[in-house]
A and B are shown apart, each in its own frame.
Chain A
């Protein structure tokens, strides 16, 4: 009996050791949390990292690394503004619960860098085995990812703001097919100006072909800065690292917003409180002639059913009925403009696994990943190699907007930038609603920005 009992204990011991032995062969699962934002069509911003994790895990297995990465991704397509996203991240960061990687427009880099929220990447790019994957990224995009000379982010995509127009409406107005096809080129050459756009919008409205001549975005965003720049406005002095209030250009730009809403009435005066969904529906259904949107909307309209009867649009339908161009020059022969607000990946400075987070970002920046996201979401790629991917290279839309990169600009990377854009947006709203003249609105902006920024503001009379 005693022998049997001993044997039983030995059996238990061996069994126990075997289990422990197996357990030590088990992998350590590392969870990397990722958040991204944008339209529903932009989900690959984070999903590319989920896919990259598979590649990274294969590499870890080869290296006999016991860690295995699992990416948990949340995509916010509710139109939350950056302020809100940042607030959530900053508060979570302080309590140690912020996600490891966040995808945001580059205009937030300064905030994250100045507040130590984002991991500086210069060292990792040099020393990590994955650093070389980032070599091909365009220089101007790297500039957008830097703050005070250091790299805090990895460019994820780029876009261009474009002036969409309805080809079908132009045809009804008697434009010949060739004339319609040449419009984008005429805008590029500065022959079709902002004045012509206003006149054409008005004409289409008078002929009752559309309800409105021109729509711009309803919420705060870089498009307003772009229009200010189109009027020759300076917004930032890099040498002094100060935000600039260019009063003359601002007055001209705000006069434009007043004209389109109060005088020509080609834009509803409540444009700034319109619902996005409503706006998109009016546009896709052909009730507005010009719409200042962006290349990403090209992807969005094919994936989100804004049209009440057609649902998601086919690209063929869009090519047949919608054209796109740069934002027209203010004067004959002037230079048209566009603006890009590239998205970037930033890594949480408190992440427990900076090497893995960086590896994921670098892997997801490879041409095949990047081109897939670009084509699905109407964004431009980040490197010449990605532009050579057949998926992207053979895409008719991207071929036709590639020239816009020559006319593009970015916003400055400075932490208080948001104060400027918020004040500019409020000023646009005030003149559009007819509550202030452009001069009054500029005066108000000056007062607000002096109050908010103090000596960080440079005023150009």
Chain B
């Protein structure tokens, strides 16, 4: 390329940016249209008292003042915390264990693949069907599958969902989310060079030590990525909760995103629902910033030390 001559009016940096513009523009437009605009629209809506008449009547911060006096909100925030923490633990933790089992412990490629495919099945099932399967499985009558099983041991039928709404939604969400972690961890574990294991074994390390000192440090970045990703998507996800318990009984499994949906679309209080959604967005931003700081996101972008 050579040095810039006097004829070039633009600096090389600007030229570079301009050249890359056609490549990055479609993504910027997509992000703008489908991420930024909805957030902005929600923010605008949250300043209105829009109800079933769907009129934009601006009420300032009244909705946010109402949120502060909403008596069910403490319970809902508590539910959200419990739901996100335990589901994420299940998604990431169990995903890691599955990846270990199917890649590190089962060395046969085909058998590992078979089990991983099995765990992917719920992902291929439409959400409504997946939720229905849970409802049938946990049906409170003696014909419910789990009740048939406990019935075989002479136990009376239980009302599983009613008595354990939070564990139910955590399990249902956790078991479907586990496949993503499994796939990512599997590929991360597979990319660890064999020599490292061999060297460790020569030094007398057992499985536990290999996992603790070799695998875990080397899957740190996928672990970080998945944790942040899962937390963010869990904060805003509610479809399985809606389909399985609809937040009930009472507000026992209602999380913030579902509450926002219920206020907006069941009570037709669109303004108030949008205000709740804005709180959700703020929580999401805060959590992400915090998590990226804790894990040291900057260092993830450094060149891999493994292949250096």
Q: Which of B117-167 contact A (CB under 8 A)?
A: 140-141, 159, 161-162
Residues of B within 8 A of A311 (CB): none
Residues A90 and B267 in contact in the complex (CB < 8 Å), given A270-B140, A451-B69: no
CA distance A448 to B72 in the complex (A): 8
Is B108 positioned at the interface, with any CB of A under 8 Å from its CB? no
Residues A111 and B162 in contact in the complex (CB < 8 Å), given A83-B267, A419-B267: no
Q: Is the CB of B53 within 8 A of A86?
A: no
Is B284 positioned at the interface, with any CB of A under 8 Å from its CB? no
- Closest chain A residue to B269, Cβ basis: A452
Q: Is the CB of B52 within 8 A of A433?
A: no
CA distance A435 to B52 in the complex (A): 32
Is A207 positioned at the interface, with any CB of B under 8 Å from its CB? no
Q: Which of B162, B249, B265 has the most CB of A within 10 A?
A: B249
Q: How far is the CB of A292 from chain B (nearest CB, A)?
A: 20
CA distance A94 to B249 in the complex (A): 33
Q: Is the CB of A429 within 8 A of B71?
A: no
Q: Kindly supply a per-residue 1/0 record for chain B positions 277-296, scoring 1 wherever the CB is within 8 Å of any chain A CB and 0 otherwise.
A: 00000000000000000000
Q: How far is the CB of A352 from chain B (nearest CB, A)?
A: 21
Is A115 positioned at the interface, with any CB of B under 8 Å from its CB? yes
Q: Is the CB of B250 within 8 A of A415?
A: no
Q: Is the CB of A115 within 8 A of B54?
A: yes
Residues A451 and B250 in contact in the complex (CB < 8 Å), given A83-B266, A111-B52: no
Residues of A within 8 A of B71 (CB): 444, 447-448, 451
Q: Is the CB of A433 within 8 A of B162?
A: yes
Residues of B within 8 A of A448 (CB): 71-72
Q: How far is the CB of A308 from chain B (nearest CB, A)?
A: 11
Residues A115 and B52 in contact in the complex (CB < 8 Å), given A429-B250, A435-B250: yes
CA distance A274 to B161 in the complex (A): 11
Residues A90 and B52 in contact in the complex (CB < 8 Å), given A444-B71, A451-B70: yes
Q: Is the CB of B52 within 8 A of A94?
A: no
Q: Is the CB of B52 within 8 A of A270?
A: no
Q: Kindly supply a per-residue 1/0 record for chain B positions 228-256, scoring 1 wherever the CB is within 8 Å of any chain A CB and 0 otherwise.
A: 00000000000000000000111000000
Q: Is the CB of B53 within 8 A of A422?
A: no
Option from B53, B140, B161 in Cβ contact (under 8 Å) with A116 = B53
CA distance A115 to B265 in the complex (A): 16
Q: Kindly supply a per-residue 1/0 record for chain A positions 142-186, scoring 1 wherever the CB is within 8 Å of any chain B CB and 0 otherwise.
A: 000000000000000000000000000000000000000000000
Is A208 positioned at the interface, with any CB of B under 8 Å from its CB? no
Is A309 positioned at the interface, with any CB of B under 8 Å from its CB? no
Residues A429 and B249 in contact in the complex (CB < 8 Å), given A87-B265, A270-B162, A273-B162: yes
Q: Kindly supply a per-residue 1/0 record for chain A positions 297-313, scoring 1 wherever the CB is within 8 Å of any chain B CB and 0 otherwise.
A: 00000000000000000
Option from B52, B69, B250, B269 in Cβ contact (under 8 Å) with A430 = B250
Q: Which of A425-461 contact B (CB under 8 A)?
A: 426, 429-430, 433, 435, 444, 447-448, 451-452
Q: Is the CB of A433 within 8 A of B250?
A: yes
Where chain A touches its partner, the secondary structure class is helix
Is B268 positioned at the interface, with any CB of A under 8 Å from its CB? yes
Q: How far is the CB of A270 from chain B (nearest CB, A)?
A: 5
Q: Kindly supply a per-residue 1/0 record for chain B positions 40-55, scoring 1 wherever the CB is within 8 Å of any chain A CB and 0 otherwise.
A: 0000000000001110
Q: How far is the CB of A145 from chain B (nearest CB, A)?
A: 19
Is B198 positioned at the interface, with any CB of A under 8 Å from its CB? no
Residues of B within 8 A of A94 (CB): 54
CA distance A94 to B71 in the complex (A): 33
Q: Kindly supply a per-residue 1/0 record for chain A positions 70-101, scoring 1 wherever the CB is within 8 Å of any chain B CB and 0 otherwise.
A: 00000000000001101100100010000000
Residues of B within 8 A of A433 (CB): 162, 249-250
CA distance A418 to B52 in the complex (A): 12
Q: How far is the CB of B201 from chain A (nearest CB, A)?
A: 55
- Closest chain A residue to B53, Cβ basis: A115
Residues of A within 8 A of B52 (CB): 86, 90, 111, 114-115, 415
Is A127 positioned at the interface, with any CB of B under 8 Å from its CB? no
Option from A86, A273, A415 in Cβ contact (under 8 Å) with B248 = A273
CA distance A447 to B265 in the complex (A): 21
Q: Is the CB of A426 within 8 A of B162?
A: no
CA distance A83 to B249 in the complex (A): 19
CA distance A114 to B140 in the complex (A): 42
CA distance A196 to B265 in the complex (A): 42
Q: How far is the CB of B248 from chain A (nearest CB, A)?
A: 7
CA distance A94 to B159 in the complex (A): 42
Is A278 positioned at the interface, with any CB of B under 8 Å from its CB? yes
CA distance A430 to B70 in the complex (A): 18
Is B78 positioned at the interface, with any CB of A under 8 Å from its CB? no
CA distance A433 to B159 in the complex (A): 12
- Closest chain A residue to B143, Cβ basis: A278
Residues of B within 8 A of A452 (CB): 267, 269
Is A261 positioned at the interface, with any CB of B under 8 Å from its CB? no
Residues of B within 8 A of A274 (CB): 140
Q: How far is the CB of A152 from chain B (nearest CB, A)?
A: 14
CA distance A322 to B39 in the complex (A): 56
Q: Is the CB of A278 within 8 A of B248?
A: no
Is A272 positioned at the interface, with any CB of B under 8 Å from its CB? yes
- Closest chain B residue to A435, Cβ basis: B250
Residues of A within 8 A of B249 (CB): 270, 272-273, 429, 433, 435
Q: How far is the CB of A81 from chain B (nearest CB, A)?
A: 8
Q: Is the CB of A429 within 8 A of B53?
A: no
Q: How far is the CB of A251 from chain B (nearest CB, A)?
A: 18
Residues of B within 8 A of A426 (CB): 250
Is B212 positioned at the interface, with any CB of A under 8 Å from its CB? no
CA distance A86 to B250 in the complex (A): 23
Is B190 positioned at the interface, with any CB of A under 8 Å from its CB? no
Q: How far is the CB of A215 from chain B (nearest CB, A)?
A: 14
Q: How far is the CB of A94 from chain B (nearest CB, A)?
A: 6
Is B66 positioned at the interface, with any CB of A under 8 Å from its CB? yes
CA distance A94 to B53 in the complex (A): 10
CA distance A238 to B72 in the complex (A): 30
CA distance A83 to B265 in the complex (A): 8
Q: List 22 A-B contacts (CB under 8 A).
A: A84-B266, A87-B268, A111-B52, A114-B52, A114-B53, A115-B53, A115-B54, A270-B140, A270-B162, A273-B161, A273-B249, A415-B52, A429-B250, A433-B162, A433-B249, A435-B249, A444-B71, A447-B71, A448-B72, A451-B69, A451-B70, A452-B267
Residues of A within 8 A of B (CB): 83-84, 86-87, 90, 94, 111, 114-116, 270, 272-274, 278, 415, 418-419, 422, 426, 429-430, 433, 435, 444, 447-448, 451-452
Identify the 8 closest CB pairs spanning chains A and B, nearest first: A115-B53, A270-B162, A447-B71, A83-B266, A270-B159, A115-B52, A111-B52, A87-B265
- Knowing that A86-B268, A452-B267 are A-B contacts, what are 10 other residue pairs whose CB atoms are under 8 Å apart, sorted by A's residue number? A90-B268, A114-B53, A270-B162, A422-B266, A422-B267, A426-B250, A429-B249, A433-B162, A433-B249, A451-B66
